[in-house]
Chains A and B, each alone.
Chain A
Amino acid sequence: MTTQPGDQPAQPSTSPRHGLRLFLIWLVLALAADLIIWFVWRPHLPPGDMSDAARHQQFDIAVLAISGAPVVIFVLLYFIYSIVVWRARPGDDTDGEPIYGNTKIQATWIIGTTVIVLWLFVFGTVELVVPAGAGAGEGPSPIWKLAGTTSSTWTPNTNTTLQVQVIGQQWTWTYRYPQFGGMESSELMLPVDTPVTFHVTSLDVIHSFWAYQLGVKADANPQVDNVAYVTPKTLGSVTVRCNELCGIWHGAMFNYGHVVSPTAFQTWASGVQAKEQSDGVLAALPPYALTYDPTVVPQLGKNLPKIDQITGAAGYYYPPSDPVTP
């Protein structure tokens, strides 16, 4: 771009080979951008590498970035180049060359964009299917499942899937562990290197469960069991936010979770289970189900002692809010 375009535009014989020049500048810039994105930026791209799903998303974002950057650079470079080179000089009142089209260039462009699009489609599909939905909510009967044995009890280091039910309500999250007697916690605890199945549901309006560092996002719909898979890979804490507008305190609907070692998780979970057992909380909670209908929770109105300190939902489910129920 530093080359002068020449001040005599009327002489086609001396006019520079714009196409070649553009191509060379583009090649250099695109290569540089892609190398920087891949080697410098990629390790820092969100959502990080705390789980398999997060790693796949990070990889995807990086691949999309190196696929998209050359396109952006080409278009921007072209516009900048044309603004500099083909601007009308002062006093030049003539029109441009009447070029109505160019079949070769048009065909190349169409084929090129189609190839990029099909590549992105194939890549995206593989990256969706292979990591079992890549952390996204897959509805009640997922077809891309995470490997792991299912069992009604969970013991550390056996590759047994840990089931966690995520219950959203205005404006709090509750986590329920059916393999530990259906005990509830307002804190998300997960064992590392263990396949986890989230069953996300809601008691009132639509929420969305976003465990940012884990790369998990699944809408919490009332009366729908939305399943998402993840395998935490490193220890650390997780931010959970509601990602779907759910009423006035939507912005305040967040809490934190922790990924701990399997034995520590076992100790914690059994401890909470025993405490809730002795406090009578477990007996007071509604029976474990994949979805909850707030209009038929049998315990409504019961006097539940000592629950406030232990459970996020405080054992209290919202009163029926649909218009027909008196």
Chain B
Amino acid sequence: MAIETHQDRVEPAGTGPPLGGPGGVLRPWWLRPGAHVGVIGAVVGYILGHLLGNFLSSTYAQNALSDSNDVPIVLGYAFGTIGWLAGLGVFNDLGRQVLGKPLLAEVRRGAGEVGLSKYFRYTLDHKVVGIQYLYGMIAYFLTGGLFAMAIRSELLSPSYHLLGPNQYLMVVGEHGTMMMMMMSSVILGPFGQYFGPLLIGSKRVAFPRLEALGFWLTPAAYVILLSAVLFGGFPTGWTGYEPLATQATQGEDAYFFAFGLMGLSMILAGFNMIVTIINYRAPGMRWSRLPMFVWSMFTVSFLQVLAVPVLVGACYMALMDRTFQTAFFANQLGGSSFLYEDLFWFFGHPEVYILALPGFGVVAEVIAVFCRKPLFGYKIAAAGMLGVGILSFFVWQHHLFVSGINPDMRPLFMLTTELISIPTGFIFLVAMGTFWKAKIRFSIPMLFALAFYFNFLIGGISGVFLSDVPADTTEHGSFFVMAHFHYTIMGGLIFAFFAGVYYWLPKMTGIKLNEKLGKLHFWTMFIFFNTTFLPLFALGLMGMPRRVFEYARNLETLNDWVSISAFCLGVSILIFLINFVLSMLFWREPEVGNPWRARSLEWQVSTPPPPENFNRVPVILSGPYDYGVKDALPVADLDPPPGVIAAAYAGAPGGEA
């Protein structure tokens, strides 16, 4: 059993020579593996892969519509990724073990280190990984947002004027893919990695190497996805439907490779999270005391581990079709384009819950703190998340209602889709029960949480319209769908992400964001989000399909309104960025205590948390939501007397640790 109960226990991995060689002195940062070496590795790897591809496929039949061969591109990406990871030092421990050498004694590398260089290395401390994810995700989100601005600029007029049709599809594809694939980790990455172990009373995660690898795959996926721009983009949007994807030029390789790579990152993050939550809970952290955010991480991790491999497989098959000319998805050659649609959506629907569920978790934490009340219906809340997670595997065909696949099953998929609204309703019941006779404090996280419920309500109800096959016949593939999933993902996930940023950033960095700018950010974002996306429902119902640059002239006024709102929404995000940069770099207003008077475990330790989170493994005494309870026990004993923990595990199998 992997529960760590001794404060000074030395890991078997830690017996080798100290980090940095025999002298015990750290080499200077530029001589150690890190992002800068990784870049060199990536470039060298890409060139090697490209040359290998040319060598392997020089006499290969080329795609009739492509101007050059796809094999060198894909092999270049593959070797480039390996070079990047090698430069980061991902394989160093592996190499030492293969050679029979002892590992370097930097077991919890990064935990106690000072300076910025740890953020640019393959650091195994989950708090460092959380910070890396935070900055990474903000960067990816802003990139995707810029593409959205370009889309809305093009849609200012009903005919193409700013971007060519090719560029327009490139921008649409980059925006969609960036948001759907990178943002799958926008909460699980920063807050899940950082606070997951803290919230369950653990000093570390189960698989720190997998966790760090999960993060370092995201910059690779990001760069590869963006590299599609160099090939003129990919024309398939974020769904990559075959056979259009086989017909497309090399940008499509970037799409499939990047999506597959991000899929690997999600799988690794999910594995680590599941094992950590099951095995690394502190004594007394029963399942019934698990914070709701941890429940959401737990559910999402299962979705990632079970659903994402299907995507990785689909991307792999599509790449094989494009490079080595297999025919998984070519109808004329015995393959099936339906197969791709099925595989993609079998991943794709759980994916949207991978995006939505972490939001449920964050807002559940936030409302309990700022209502000063216990979470209403704890079991219902956990059941709601698990229910959504399980049902999400049985609904994927609703994306294919008019496709002609297996049409007799449509009533069944209509039923399963509508059934999801029951567990989703639990999330609302929990919120409403918590608000009952509460003492609501309107802090910025709370405002974002309230907006989350508003947006998700609209997103959820519009989902009911889409689940009904006859109504869906008009709405399918139109701007109505687009509005629907922006309400659930941007209105849900991203609002919850910002709630998390304002709520947890003081804990992560010891610095709080400016409140005035924060309020301005919230109100502009909430108002302009709604003025942007509400009219899109109407546009869809009036007959505007997705991903078009030409639309009926009578829709121009509404489209212009949406575009101008979208620009204002962009300004609102800019306000956040300004606030973030100024607060973090210049104002640096310290916040070291427990500003929200929250009960949960992460707020009980010092700020920023000590290198190993807890000096001793805490003993959990009560649930995290006992607000308003007279004589409530503190949530944990952070300094339990020696022997308590050993006694707690005395009866457990393998618990003699």
A72-97 vs B, CB cutoff 8 Å, 1 = contact: the mask equals 10011011001100111000101111
Docked Cα-Cα span, A88 to B439, in Å, equals 4
Stretch at the interface among B1-9, B24-32, B204-212, B450-458: B450-458
Given the known inter-chain contacts A68-B461, A134-B470, please indicate yes or no for A245 contacting B411, CB distance below 8 A: no
Smallest Cβ-Cβ distance to B628: which chain A residue:
A95
Query: B546 an interface residue at 8 Å Cβ cutoff?
Result: yes
Q: Which of B325, B422, B552 contacts A110 (CB 8 A)?
A: B422
Point out the residues of chain B lying under 8 angstroms from A94, CB to CB: 372, 439, 628
> Is B374 a contact of A100 with CB atoms below 8 Å?
yes
Docked Cα-Cα span, A131 to B471, in Å, equals 13
Point out the residues of chain A lying under 8 angstroms from B243, CB to CB: 204-206, 222, 322
> Is B422 a contact of A245 with CB atoms below 8 Å?
no
Point out the residues of chain B lying under 8 angstroms from A120, CB to CB: 418, 464, 467-468
Interface class of chain A by DSSP: mixed
Point out the residues of chain B lying under 8 angstroms from A325, CB to CB: 64
Point out the residues of chain A lying under 8 angstroms from B461, CB to CB: 68, 71-72
Query: A57 an interface residue at 8 Å Cβ cutoff?
Result: yes
> Is B407 a contact of A204 with CB atoms below 8 Å?
no
Point out the residues of chain B lying under 8 angstroms from A268, CB to CB: none
Smallest Cβ-Cβ distance to B371: which chain A residue:
A96
Contact size range, A = 35 or more
Stretch at the interface among B292-300, B430-438, B604-612: B430-438
Point out the residues of chain B lying under 8 angstroms from A246, CB to CB: 244
> Is A113 a contact of B421 with CB atoms below 8 Å?
yes
Docked Cα-Cα span, A201 to B373, in Å, equals 58
In chain B between 418 and 453, which residues have their CB closer than 8 angstroms to a CB of chain A? 418-419, 421-422, 425-426, 428-429, 432-433, 435-442, 450, 453
Contact size range, B = 35 or more
Query: A301 an interface residue at 8 Å Cβ cutoff?
Result: no
Point out the residues of chain B lying under 8 angstroms from A140, CB to CB: 404
Given the known inter-chain contacts A106-B380, A208-B402, A241-B543, please indicate yes or no for A61 contacting B241, CB distance below 8 A: no
> Is A221 a contact of B411 with CB atoms below 8 Å?
no
Query: B545 an interface residue at 8 Å Cβ cutoff?
Result: yes
Query: A37 an interface residue at 8 Å Cβ cutoff?
Result: no
Smallest Cβ-Cβ distance to B626: which chain A residue:
A98
Point out the residues of chain B lying under 8 angstroms from A96, CB to CB: 371-373, 437-439, 627-628
Point out the residues of chain A lying under 8 angstroms from B477, CB to CB: 208, 210, 217, 243-244
Smallest Cβ-Cβ distance to B241: which chain A residue:
A206
Smallest Cβ-Cβ distance to A119: which chain B residue:
B418
> Is A245 a contact of B241 with CB atoms below 8 Å?
yes
In chain B between 384 and 440, which residues have their CB closer than 8 angstroms to a CB of chain A? 400-408, 410-411, 414-415, 418-419, 421-422, 425-426, 428-429, 432-433, 435-440
Query: A6 an interface residue at 8 Å Cβ cutoff?
Result: no
Point out the residues of chain A lying under 8 angstroms from B374, CB to CB: 98-100
Please, could you name 14 A-B residue pairs with CB atoms under 8 Å apart, sorted by A?
A79-B432, A88-B440, A105-B429, A110-B426, A117-B421, A125-B411, A128-B411, A143-B408, A206-B244, A215-B473, A217-B477, A242-B545, A243-B478, A324-B333
Beyond contacts A136-B401, A241-B545, A243-B478: 8 other A-B pairs, Cβ-Cβ < 8 A, are A61-B465, A64-B471, A86-B435, A94-B439, A98-B628, A219-B402, A226-B404, A245-B239
**Which of A's residues lie within 8 Å of B, judged by CB?**
18, 45-47, 53-54, 56-57, 60-61, 64-65, 67-68, 71-72, 75-76, 78-79, 82-83, 86-88, 92, 94-102, 105-106, 109-110, 113-114, 117, 120-121, 123-125, 127-129, 131, 133-140, 142-143, 200, 204-206, 208, 210, 212, 215-219, 221-224, 226-227, 239, 241-252, 254, 293-295, 319-326
